[in-house]
Amino acid sequence: MSDPKFITQPFVDGKVVPAQAGETFDSVNPATGKVIAAVAACGESDVDFAVASARAAFDRGVWSRADPAERKAVLLRFADLLDEHIDELAELDSIDAGKPITDCRTLDVPDAIGTIRWYAESIDKVFGSVSPTGPGNLGLITREPVGVVAGVLPWNFPMATLSWKIGPALAAGNSVVIKPAELSPFSTLRTAELAVEAGLPAGVLNVVPGLGHVTGKALGLHPDVDVVTFTGSTEVGRHFLRYSADSNLKKVVLECGGKSPQLVLADQRDRIGAIAEELADAAFWNMGENCTCGSRILVHRSLRDDLVAGLVAQLPSWPVGDPQHPDTKVGALIEEAHLRKVLGYIDAGVSEGASVAAGGNQVRQESGGWFVEPTIFTDVTPEMSIAREEIFGPVLSVIAFDTEEEAIRIANDSPYGLAASVFTDDLNAAHRVARALRAGTVSVNCYSEGDITTPFGGYKMSGFGGYDKGLEAFDQYTAVKTTWFALR
């Protein structure tokens, strides 16, 4: 990567500006353990400046009251410009977050570009309505941009989650302030520059890098922020609910992780090889640093041994390596503390009586980075910590069940409810189990989060207040207004 100093400062009111306190923190390459750059640690005064810029732009109407066709054209130019810089953005995410470069180039950044295009195209296809009044009245029901939206991002999918927030928020006409994760801020800052280059008015999209307990908290408590959308841990999500209660009762939208069950029913013996390939992808993609990670496999007892063998046979297809190498499938974990957490869960699994069928070790120590090989546990019982808690690493647990009812009970015995999968050729069983699973997305005969047309959010402690993706995302970034006419 070239000298990254141009993206280490906040981006406010259409330009790079110095952080007011001048404090910084180090951004470290997870694959080498070496410092990449110093990043501005924005404080309350920087947040105040960014929110004031967003509010001023909103009140001027340069974006909020722009013709829908104009907003559409700008966002389409924005998507084209992102496409022109796809290699740069992919490299930023790979180096910053330890992600395999091939995934960044072929999945993450294209997904972000497609999201911006999809919401641009939706601008002139979302309508209000007319209420069924009597002849003496007319009731118009319209949606207006809510105002200033704050987005607080996770570190695992910087470009994708950024697009999920700003795509519908900008399409609806809002101004936005983004706090990228302190562990992966680079692509977000660069994206904001490209948005202005595409024609987005100054002040409509602002980025304030910083630490969560300072910058994120300041956004959560800010009285002039109308909506906060957050993706991250349940613990931090609780904080945002408290910030809202302690300030202006702003709308809060949370996506807070999961422990996704993958149910393999008894009729799948002839498809074990293909299912093992699908489940390895669900568990090991993005190093397992994924809120829908398929880390909890529930398989009929008659198929368990064959499925475990199939999963072990998949491991050569998941080489651990330098994230910059195009053949690497498993890159580095985000930071040393997270490495220790993942290794701690592996140790806990062994001490609680589970068996390591494959993996379980830290690797590539000579690189200075933080790598763990894909790990498969068997002989897992539902009460074990590796079966209940979100590990956020390349670690999967195989749990046997005897009946469909038992599988559903185990799957739902979790505080989370983000995603789940069921594998069966029985159409009735597929419908029956999918309906019974308490999860926001249930995929059948595949691991999937759906696509941009489908809402993404969870049940229970996995979600609150709204959805990413789909037309449903407009609900959290717009306010419903009734205009009532008395005709005469």
Q: Are 20 and 30 in contact (CB under 8 A)?
A: no
CA angle 162, 317, 91 (to 5 degrees): 35
**Rounded to 5°, angle at Cα 37 from 34 and 39:** 130
Residue 254, beta-bridge partner list: 230, 464
Strand order in the sheet with 419-423: 355-358, 375-378, 395-401, 296-300, 261-264, 419-423, 441-444
104 is catalytic: no
Angstrom CA distances, 193 to 178, 216, 401, stand at 13, 21, 52
Task: Output DSSP code: residue 108.
Answer: I
Residue closest to 56 by CA, chosen among 220, 175, 219:
175
Question: Would you call 468 helix, strand, or coil by DSSP?
Answer: strand
Among the listed residues 255, 278, 289, 373, the single catalytic one is 255
> What is the distance between the alpha carbons of residues 74 and 170, in angstroms, rounded to a whole number?
10
**CB distance 34 to 368 below 8 Å:** yes
For residue 253, give Cα distances in angstroms to 50, 241, 245, 462, 464. Answer: 20, 9, 14, 11, 6
- What dihedral do alpha carbons 87, 290, 122, 434 form, nearest 10°? 140
Neighbouring residues of 52: CB distance < 8 A, sequence distance ≥ 6: 224
- Count CB-CB contacts under 10 A for residue 384: 20
Query: Residue 385: enclosing H or E segment and its boundaries?
Result: helix 385-388
How many other β-carbons are positioned within 10 Å of the β-carbon of residue 65?
Answer: 12
CA dihedral of 179, 183, 185, 187, whole degrees rounded to 10: -130
User: Phi-psi region for residue 483, left (φ > 0), alpha (ψ -120 to 50) or beta?
Assistant: beta
Catalytic residue among 104, 256, 291, 293: 291
Contacts 24+ apart (CB under 8 A), 410-415: 410/261, 410/298, 410/382, 411/261, 411/263, 411/296, 411/298, 411/437, 412/436, 412/437, 412/438, 413/382, 414/259, 414/261, 414/388, 414/460, 415/234, 415/460, 415/461
Q: What SS3 class is residue 75?
A: helix
Closest CA to 75 of 111, 105, 118: 118
Cα dihedral sign, 420-424-425-426: negative
Rounded to the nearest 5°, which phi and psi values hold at 35? -70, 130
**Catalytic status, residue 42:** no
Tell me which residues are annotated as active site.
255, 291
